[in-house]
Amino acid sequence: MGEGPLIQIGLPVSLFIIMLGMGLTLTPRDFRNVVVYPRATIIGAIAQILLLPVLAFAIAWLLALPGPLAVGLVIIAACPGGTTSNLFTLLARGNVALSIVLTVLASFVTILTLPLFTNVAMQLHMDSSEQISLPVVPRWRPCW
């Protein structure tokens, strides 16, 4: 699929307008409630970051999926939710502030968990000795 002006310009602009409109519906009090009552944040983060990939491993095992499909399922389950989840939360009249906080948390933690879950899935389902690594911390190099 070619990348025309509709994709390169229209999509980012429309996403910006949607996110701006969603953000204008929020108040600082909404985020205060998420911080003061952290139970939903903790449960949501654990479910999204740990339970969803574990469920993907279980589904791949139960359905005896071929290696590439099993690894792909685990990768999709381990990826963080994007801005679309926040939009769906808004449309469903859910807690948008909680959805945004969970998206941010998952995005940060995924830097570490995505390579971990991907490597485990590849070792279990692909019999691969390949390791995937992401440069989380830049390597220190002496200047001399």
Using pLDDT thresholds of 50, 70 and 90, give the confidence band for residue 138.
Answer: low
The whole-number pLDDT of residue 135 equals: 63
Average pLDDT, the chain: 84
Q: Model-level pTM?
A: 0.74
Whether residue 131 is predicted with pLDDT greater than 70 in this model: the reply is no
Whether residue 11 is predicted with pLDDT greater than 90 in this model: the reply is no
Tell me the three-class secondary structure of the chain, residue by residue: CCCCHHHHHHHHHHHHHHHHHHHHCCCHHHHHHHHHCCHHHHHHHHHHHHHHHHHHHHHHHHCCCCHHHHHHHHHHHHCCCCHHHHHHHHHCCCCHHHHHHHHHHHHHHHHHHHHHHHHHHHHHHCCCCCCCCCCCCCCCCCCC
pLDDT digits (tens, 9 = 90+) for 38-76: 999 999 999 999 999 999 999 999 999 998 899 999 999
Rounded to an integer, what distance in angstroms lies between the CA atom of residue 62 and that of residue 73? 13
Using pLDDT thresholds of 50, 70 and 90, give the confidence band for residue 5.
Answer: confident
The whole-number pLDDT of residue 125 equals: 84
The whole-number pLDDT of residue 55 equals: 96
In whole angstroms, how large is the CA radius of gyration of the chain? 19
Closest of 51, 71, 49 to residue 60, by C-alpha: 71
